[in-house]
Amino acid sequence: MRDLASLDAELLVVDWLSNHEELTGVLGGKGRVGARNAPPYPRIRITQIPGGAAAGWRWLGTFHIQVEALGDVDRSTARPALRLAFTTAVKALHELTVRPALPGQPVVTAVQALSTGGWLPEPTGQGRYLGVVALTAHPAAG
């Protein structure tokens, strides 16, 4: 059995959202989910932030994941479009709990939005919706 050290929650979320058909459609194509604020826009930036719980780092842990919908640097992305991207991403994360178990993949047992998200532009003025989700998971067995 693997322990939580083998579970990369940020990578799990990026992989899931990168291949989520509805989110890809809202964003306008693939290649728009990752850990960086870089074109193409709009995009979803995912960051694991401090918080959560991993008692003994053994089997089950809860990880806090920051979800951001980022618009174009020139501020041309409409605010409603960013809100739609943000809410679609959070909804897609909730679907992780019902996906079929895949060999070698972590199992997500719960997703909870810790904030409903809000408009908080970057210091540069770039449009951004921001929220935090708690993801509870255990690593794949074996």
pLDDT confidence band for 52 (50 / 70 / 90): confident
Dist. CA 8–CA 98, nearest whole Å: 19
Peptide bond just before 100 cis, omega within 30 deg:
no
Higher pLDDT, 2 or 81: 81
Dist. CA 34–CA 37, nearest whole Å: 8
Question: For the segment 83-118, what is each residue's pLDDT rounded down to a tens digit?
Answer: 999 999 999 999 999 988 788 888 999 999 999 889
Beta-carbon contacts of residue 5 (< 8 Å; ≥ 6 apart): 57
pLDDT at site 83:
97
